[in-house]
Structure 1
Amino acid sequence: MFIEPIVKGGRQGWIEVICGSMFSGKTEELIRRLKRAKIANLRVEIFKPAVDTRYDDQQIVSHDEKAIPSTPIDNSQTILLLTSEVDVVGIDEAQFFDDQLPDVCDRLAAQGIRVIVAGLDMDFRGKPFGQIPNLLAKADYITKLHAICMKCGNIASFSYRKHAHEGQFLLGEKDIYEPRCRKCFYDPD
């Protein structure tokens, strides 16, 4: 679907995607960029999926406990209702949002808004996760972050699930997941 750009005061919007495995610093990088936007006196609105209550019900919190206030929402269309007077929109854990998220981000960027999205690019099986692949295709800027493999110390791009739970969605931390390199992910023994 083509979205006609609506230029606000000469500003051009764009989409930035921060992706990678668990424990790679995606949320920390999102928070860093959003705090810099606030320092620049830009109007910032931040969203997270309401289902993600791991560290806090309201705030986005990184694994190293950096935090920033956010609005938990149940669906991506809500973002359009809450961003009429903003310069920057931040979205964390994008893999948990519905299939409308890429179009919502497109619409925001067409309105001159900088959109920064963070999320897992692959699930625990090593398969593309949620709407991240579609967001990567629409992104103007992509940052892929890596963790450190917990088995061998090489760079890690995969999120290895240590428990035998088959569902794609299983919220967890270091007790359930660990970062792995390609070799250690596919050869876990």
Structure 2
Amino acid sequence: MATLNNDTSRDVTADQKLRGSGAIHVIMGPMFSGKSTSLLRRIKSEISLGRSVAMVKSSKDTRYAKDSVVTHDGIGFPCWAIPDLMSFHDIFGQDAYDKLDVIGIDEAQFFGDLYEFCCKAADDDGKTVIVAGLDGDYLRRRFGGVLDIVPIADSVTKLTARCEVCGQKAFFTLRKTCDTKTELIGGADVYMPVCRKHYVNNRIVIKASKKEWDSDKERAKPCVEAVDADPSSIGY
């Protein structure tokens, strides 16, 4: 009985050492601010210290490579592309997961279970989780769960880009198209980093362009209907 008590005591002590020994570090900012670059730098630093590392990203992001985290400068690192974070444990495997020290998460705004996963990985499993993602969308509203994990983070780094219009610090992401979907994955062809002044000014221009585009579509409708009603009007 004494042996059983001693074994149980050792298990509890080991569990207590593991639980709460993890950490959560958040890297956020607008597009083109170097979030993925900063994430990879920290991951490589952890590897140099001899720690076991795994990188994950959303399977939605297929811009540069399906199975790699790739920066806008073309620097890549192998990763697991998964639909949700809570599935990572099963996909990676129990034994491999137990040996992990650090988990890097890129494009974290696309994971709906980010908060749940970070709590479990850091608080219960003792992992260091390094998260990189957008804090706001193109309308400067919260994007995904990145802001939700700020209260449970050990550190938060807010990066800035360079405004493409004036060269000043850019805090916001401007969408250059009139598409209104929240999740519209793209690069420099769709987005640009801008300062506050040029975010506001360019949003006015984009709104005006969208209004004109919608107006043109409305004016075109009667013409389309007329052609559908009278095929001979096409002039064959």
Deviates more, 1:72-81 or 1:30-39: 72-81
Q: What TM-score, normalized to structure 1? A: 0.92
Residue number in structure 1 paired with 2:192: 178
C-alpha separation in 2, matches of 1:90 and 1:145: 17
Q: Which amino acid aligns with 2:114?
A: L
1:77 match: secondary structure? helix
State the SS of the aligned residue for 1:60.
strand
Unpaired runs of at least 5, structure 2: 1-14, 206-236
SS at 1:35 equivalent: helix
Partner of 2:87: 78
After the TM superposition, which residues 39-58 of structure 1 pair with which residues of structure 2 at under 5 Å, given as runs?
39-58=48-67
Give CA deviations for 1:110-134 in whole Å, capped at 9, x if unaligned: 1221100000011001111000110
Choose which of 118, 121, 137 in structure 2 pairs with 1:108. Answer: 121
Relative to 1, partners in 2 of residues 1:175 and 1:6: Cα closer, same or farther, differing over 3 Å?
farther
Query: Structure 2 CA distance, aligned partners of 1:76 and 1:58?
Result: 15
Worse-superposed segment, 167-176 or 133-142: 133-142
Task: Kindly provide the amino acid, as one letter, of the partner of residue 175 in structure 1.
Answer: D
The whole-number CA distance in structure 2 between the counterparts of 1:6 and 1:172 is: 44
The structure with the largest alpha-carbon Rg is: 2
RMSD (CA atoms): 1.5
Compare relative contact order (CA 8 Å, sep 6+) and give the higher one, 1 or 2: 1
Alpha-carbon distance change, 6 to 183 in structure 1, aligned in 2, over 3 angstroms: farther
Residue range with higher mean Cα deviation, 172-181 or 78-87? 78-87
Q: Share of identical aligned residues, percent? A: 38
Task: Normalising by structure 2, report the TM-score.
Answer: 0.74
Match for 2:37 among 28, 52, 57?
28
Q: 2:5 maps to what in 1?
A: none
SS of structure 2 residue aligned to 1:187: helix
Which structure is higher in helix share?
A: 2
In the superposition, relative to structure 1, how do residues 125 and 6 fare at CA in structure 2: closer, same or farther (>3 Å)?
farther
Contact persistence 1:156–1:182 (CA under 8 A): yes
Q: Does structure 2 retain, via aligned residues, the 8 Å contact 1:80–1:108?
A: no
Q: Is the 8 A contact 2:109 2:145 kept in 1?
A: yes
Match of 2:147 among 110, 116, 133: 133
More strand by share: 1
Asked whether the 8 Å contact 2:20–2:122 carries over to 1, the reply is: no
In structure 1, runs of 5+ residues without a counterpart are none
